[in-house]
Homo-oligomer: A and B are copies of this chain.
Amino acid sequence: MPEQPSPRFHEAKIRVRFAETDQMGVVYHSNYLIWMEVGRVEYCRARGMRYRDLEAEGVLLTVVEAHCRFIAPAKYDDEVIVRTWVEQANPRMVLFAYEITEAESAKVLATGVTKHFFCGKDGKLRKLPAEHMALFELD
């Protein structure tokens, strides 16, 4: 995590669902990857672009790598905050970083990154069109 987070992050709020828990009484770990997806979709929306529109234009973000550190368990009905920012980007790749906290206590639950390549509807790699550079801080 950067010591001075960029002001360009976005925070998405998520209420933990019962379906997301497991028999250890906490959130099953794969759900954090889904929350990160929510985080980057809301990051895009907050910057003026719906990911669905990007996709309709033929710009898809395929996930090529994911890393997550699970620090403290999220619990049923907690409100969690997914803070999302672009850690690194170029016209072929974007690396999103995330910090997930429990809203009430501000306790950090998890941190993670996901690396994406831009690709077309055919699944082939492509360069990000110039008009979308700003979305990923490439302006």
Contact = CB atoms under 8 A, between A and B. Distances in A.
A24 to B, nearest CB: 7
A30 interface: yes
Interface residues of A, number: 37
A contacts with B: majority SS: mixed
B24 A22 contact: no
Number of copies: 4
Contacts of A30: 19, 30-31, 33-34, 37
Given A22-B23, A70-B65, A77-B51, A34 B17 contact: yes
Interface in A58-106: 60, 62-71, 73, 76-77
Interface of A: 15, 17-19, 21-26, 28-31, 33-34, 37-38, 41, 50-52, 60, 62-71, 73, 76-77, 123
